[in-house]
Structure 1
Amino acid sequence: MVSLPNWYFDESKMAGVDFEDPAQAESFDLKQPSSTPEKEQALVSRLGIKSGQIVIDLGAGTGTFAIQASLTGASIHAVDISQAMLTYARNKAHKAGATNIQFHRSGFLTYKHCDHLADLVVTKAALHILPDFWKMVAFLRIASMLKPSGRFFLRDVIFSFPPAEHEAALQAWIELAAKPEGQGWTKQDYEMHIREEHSTFAWIIEGMLKQAGFQIVEMNHVSPVLAEYLCEKLW
């Protein structure tokens, strides 16, 4: 890790789920049905990832997306703050024959990109570890890693319901999404996410993206609690 000022946010002290726990890393794929090889391959195709490109996956987790992207021949930088997740991802990549992935133990605020500027940065279900001020810092850092007209894809828990309706909207989300123990994220997991992590409103995220120099070219509010943005760097 790089040396940072004492006032800097410490990403290693993860809010919510402790992904330094190897058991959490091993169970992650079962809890995250949106991150199967088939679904990640569909996203790779949708984003047009191809051989010769440089792609940064921030919050790479167990590496499913990074592996599928690497199989196109692109050069992938898989970045995660959790050593347990990186170890699990490396083992998966080895089994899949994905050899063009570099793994980095780092985060949104600490990753130092030493390769050529990237064609694409992707982050999925990870940005919510940061409070809003630090999300803005992360967006500025992401922009600095991209070549001119490079693209940034963001998918996360992002709220598009009216703020005054937050209690009903969040309770409905928990009741709809929660699974029994051992079958996915539980009611307690969702309650912890809301209480301890830092998901925020779409209008805040969209303003930050524009302030960081991105043009939003595709926006999809998948549900009142989930959003996707495909952005292009303007300068």
Structure 2
Amino acid sequence: MNSFPAWYFDESKMAGVDFEDVAQVEAYDRNQTVSTPEKEQALVNRLGISSRHTVIDLGAGTGTFAIQASLIGANVHAVDISQAMINYAQKKAKIFDATNIKFHQAGFLTYQHQDEPVDFVVTKNALHILPDFWKMIAFLRIAELLKPKGIFYLRDVIFSFPPVEYKSSIDEWIKQVAKPEGQGWTTQDFEMHVREEHSTFTWIVEEMLTRSGLKILEVTYLTPVYTEYLCMKPAS
């Protein structure tokens, strides 16, 4: 953070789970049912990532997507603010013999890319750690990372329900997805997410993406609470 102004947002103090706690990192990996090797390999295939490409995985977590992209031959930069997450992901990469991954302890706002612009930037279930002002700054930085016609893929807790229905929508979401203690994310985990983290509405994110210079190619409202975006940096 030394090269950034004193008013800059400190991602290392994000709300929610303490991802410097190794036990919590291991629990996070177990609970990530939406991020299995099979599902991440399907995403790699869907995006068309190949050995010709360079990929940045922002908020790489325990590395499942980065590993799958690496196994098809892509050059991958796995970026996460948590050193414990990186350590865990590095161990997993060794198990899978995924050797063409560079790991970086940094965040959306601090990652300094030292190579040429890349073909893909991917982030899943991580952007919500940033308040909306800083999401906009993150999108500007992501656009700079991409080469012309480069692809940005975003999936996160992003709300498409009408704002006036916020209470019933959040209550219904938690009711549907929460698991008993020891079997996955609990009611308390999801309540903490809404209370302390920074998920926002689709219409806010979509305006930000457009203002960052990215073109939205596809939007999929997976549920009233989860949304994914496929964007491209225009050629000019």
TM-score after normalising by structure 1 = 0.99
Query: In the TM superposition, what is the alpha-carbon distance from 1:138 to its structure 2 partner?
Result: 0.1
Deviation per CA, 1:78-127: give whole Å up to 9, x if none.
00000000000000000100000000000000000111110000000000
Determine if the alignment matches structure 1 residue 54 to structure 2 residue 61: no
Q: Paired residue for 2:166?
A: 166
Count of aligned positions: 235
SS at match of 1:121: strand
In structure 1, list runs of 5 or more residues that go unmatched: none
1:157-206, CA deviations, whole angstroms, 9 ceiling, x for partnerless residues? 00000000000000000000000111111000000000000000000000
Post-superposition CA distance 1:14-56 (Å, at most 9, x none): 1111111111111112111000000000000000000021100
Q: 1:35 aligns to what?
A: 35
d(CA) in 2 for partners of 1:3, 1:214: 26
> In the alignment, what sits opposite 1:136?
136
The alignment's C-alpha RMSD in Å is 0.7
Identical-pair percentage: 68
Is it true that 1:16 corresponds to 2:16 in the alignment? yes
Cα deviation, residue 3, structure 1: 2.4
Distance in 2 (CA, whole Å) between partners of 1:2 and 1:66 is 28
> CA separation in 2, counterparts of 1:3 and 1:211?
25
Rounded to whole Å, the distance in 2 between the matches of 1:128 and 1:54 is 24
d(CA) in 1 for partners of 2:117 and 2:214? 16
CA displacement at 1:2 relative to structure 2: 4.4
> Is 1:151 the counterpart of 2:151 in the alignment?
yes
Q: TM-score, normalised by structure 2?
A: 0.98
Q: Name the residue aligned to 2:76.
A: 76
CA distance in 2, matches of 1:103, 1:220: 30
Q: Runs in 1 of length 4+ with deviation above 3 angstroms?
A: none
Question: Does 2:64 align with 1:67?
Answer: no
CA contact (8 A) 1:120 1:146 kept: yes
